[in-house]
Structure 1
Amino acid sequence: MIKRILYRFLPVCLLIIGFVGCKDDDAELALPKTVPLKVEANATSFVMGEKMVLTVKVFDAKNPELVSNEDFDVYLTAKDGEKDVSKTLFKSFPSMVTFPKGEKSMDIELPIIDNGLEPKAKLYVNVISFVRGYTMTDPTVPIVVSDHHYTVVSLKNNSDNTINEGETFTVQAQAPVAVTSDMDINITIPEDQKRFYESPLPIKLTLKAGAKSGEVTFRTIHNPELTQDEKLTLNFSTVEDVLYPLDNEKIEVTMKEIDVMGTKLLDERWVYEHPAIPFASSDNYKAKVDELYGLQSVKMQEMNEHPNADLAAAGWKFYNAWEFHGISVSPPMWSDNNTWNNKVPQFLAARNTVIAQNHAAIINTQFSNITDEGYLRMIQMKVPSTATAPASGARDYGTAAFYACGTGSAWASNNQLILEGCRMEIRARFRGERNGFNMGMWLISDEAGTQQYYSEIDILENPVGSAAGNKAHQTFHGKPAGATEKSSKTANREIEMGDWNIYWLEWRSGEELAMGINGEETVCLKKSEWKEEDWTFTNEKNPKGLKFILTMGAPSPWALGESNGTTINGVWTANPGWDTGFANFTNYDQDRDNPAIPRMEIDWIRTYINKTSKSEYEGGRTRNGNKYY
Structure 2
Amino acid sequence: MLKKILYIFLPVSLLTIGFAGCNDDDVVDPLPETVPLIVEASAESFVQGETLTLTFRVKDDNKEGLSSNEDFDIYLSAKDGAIDVSKELFISFPSMVTFKKGEESLKVDLPIIKEGMKEREKRYVNIVAFVRGYNVTNSSQEIVISDLHYITMSIKSNSDRVIEEGASFTIQATLPVPVEDDTDINITVPEDQKSFYETLPTKLTIKAGEKSGEVIAATKHNLSPTKDEILVLEFSTLSVVHPLDNEKIEITMKDLEAEKGSKLLDERWVYDRPGLPFTSGTRKEGGEDAVIKKYGEAQSMSALTPHPNAELAAAGWKFYNAWEFHRVGNTNDMWQYKDAYDTYVPLCLAAQNTTTAQTSAAVINDQFSNIIEDGYLRMIEMKIKSNATAPAKGERDYGTAAFYSGSFANAYKANSTLILEGSRMEIRARVRGRKQGFNMAIWLWGNADSPYGEIDILENPATTDGNNRAFQTFHVGEDGNTAKSVNSLQTLSNMSEWNIYWMEWRDANTVVVGINGETTYTLTSANSIVNGNWPFTNERNPKGLKFILTMGAPNKWALNGQGDDWKPDANWDIGFRDYDNYKRDRDNENIPRLEIDWVRTYINKASITEYESTGVSKNGTKFY
Relative to the length of structure 1, the TM-score reads 0.89
Report the equivalent of 1:418: 419
Deviation at 1:70, TM superposition (A): 3.2
Deviates more, 1:124-133 or 1:366-375: 124-133
Matches within 5 A, 1:169-568: 169-199=169-199, 201-240=200-239, 242-260=240-258, 261-284=260-283, 286-293=288-295, 295-329=296-330, 332-407=333-408, 409-447=410-448, 450-451=449-450, 453-465=451-463, 469-481=467-479, 484-530=482-528, 531-562=530-561
Distance in 2, matches of 1:482 and 1:499, equals 32
Q: 1:408 to 1:493 in 2, by over 3 A?
A: farther
Q: 1:615 aligns with which of 604, 609, 613?
A: 609
Deviation at 1:46, TM superposition (A): 0.5
Aligned residues with identical type, % of pairs? 55
Q: Given that residues 417 and 546 in structure 1 are in contact (C-alpha distance below 8 angstroms), is that contact kept between their aligned partners in structure 2? A: yes
Q: 1:123 to 1:31 in 2, by over 3 A?
A: closer
Q: Residue 559 of structure 1 aligns to a residue in which SS?
A: coil
Matches within 5 A, 1:597-612: 597-612=591-606
Q: 1:132 to 1:509 in 2, by over 3 A?
A: farther
Q: Deviations over 1:75-129 (max 9, x none)?
A: 3232323433233221222232222333333221111112222110111222233
Q: Given that residues 56 and 107 in structure 2 are in contact (C-alpha distance below 8 angstroms), is that contact kept between their aligned partners in structure 1? A: yes
Q: 1:69 to 1:272 in 2, by over 3 A?
A: farther
Structure exhibiting the larger radius of gyration computed from Cα positions: 1
Q: Given that residues 187 and 203 in structure 2 are in contact (C-alpha distance below 8 angstroms), is that contact kept between their aligned partners in structure 1? A: yes
Deviation at 1:485, TM superposition (A): 3.7
Q: Deviations over 1:140-160 (max 9, x none)?
A: 442111000011001111111
Deviation at 1:251, TM superposition (A): 0.8
Q: Which amino acid aligns with 2:80?
A: D
Q: Which amino acid aligns with 2:604?
A: N
Q: Given that residues 473 and 485 in structure 2 are in contact (C-alpha distance below 8 angstroms), is that contact kept between their aligned partners in structure 1? A: no
Q: 1:299 to 1:482 in 2, by over 3 A?
A: closer
Report the equivalent of 2:6: none
Q: Which amino acid aligns with 1:183?
A: T
Q: Given that residues 49 and 114 in structure 1 are in contact (C-alpha distance below 8 angstroms), is that contact kept between their aligned partners in structure 2? A: yes
Report the equivalent of 2:584: 590
Q: Given that residues 237 and 249 in structure 1 are in contact (C-alpha distance below 8 angstroms), is that contact kept between their aligned partners in structure 2? A: yes
Q: Given that residues 44 and 144 in structure 1 are in contact (C-alpha distance below 8 angstroms), is that contact kept between their aligned partners in structure 2? A: yes
Q: Given that residues 283 and 329 in structure 2 are in contact (C-alpha distance below 8 angstroms), is that contact kept between their aligned partners in structure 1? A: no
Q: Given that residues 74 and 131 in structure 1 are in contact (C-alpha distance below 8 angstroms), is that contact kept between their aligned partners in structure 2? A: yes
Q: 1:522 to 1:62 in 2, by over 3 A?
A: farther
Deviates more, 1:60-69 or 1:334-343: 60-69
Deviation at 1:468, TM superposition (A): 10
Q: Given that residues 479 and 533 in structure 1 are in contact (C-alpha distance below 8 angstroms), is that contact kept between their aligned partners in structure 2? A: no
Q: Residue 590 of structure 1 aligns to a residue in which SS?
A: helix
Distance in 2, matches of 1:77 and 1:225, equals 63
Report the equivalent of 1:575: 569
Relative to the length of structure 2, the TM-score reads 0.90
Deviation at 1:360, TM superposition (A): 1.2
Q: Residue 561 of structure 1 aligns to a residue in which SS?
A: coil
Deviation at 1:499, TM superposition (A): 0.7
Report the equivalent of 2:4: none
Q: Residue 608 of structure 1 aligns to a residue in which SS?
A: strand
Q: Given that residues 401 and 550 in structure 2 are in contact (C-alpha distance below 8 angstroms), is that contact kept between their aligned partners in structure 1? A: yes
- Structure 2 residue ranges without an equivalent (≥5): 1-27
Q: 1:519 to 1:64 in 2, by over 3 A?
A: farther
Q: Residue 528 of structure 1 aligns to a residue in which SS?
A: coil
Q: Residue 567 of structure 2 aligns to a residue in which SS?
A: strand
Report the equivalent of 1:23: none
More helix by share: 1
RMSD over equivalenced CA pairs, Å: 2.2
Q: Given that residues 152 and 246 in structure 1 are in contact (C-alpha distance below 8 angstroms), is that contact kept between their aligned partners in structure 2? A: yes
Distance in 2, matches of 1:63 and 1:31, equals 13
Report the equivalent of 2:11: none
Q: Give the number of equivalent residue pairs.
A: 591
Distance in 1, matches of 2:593 and 2:331, equals 29
Deviates more, 1:69-78 or 1:538-547: 69-78
Distance in 2, matches of 1:521 and 1:528, equals 19
Distance in 2, matches of 1:69 and 1:378, equals 46
Distance in 1, matches of 2:61 and 2:423, equals 48
Q: Given that residues 34 and 134 in structure 1 are in contact (C-alpha distance below 8 angstroms), is that contact kept between their aligned partners in structure 2? A: no
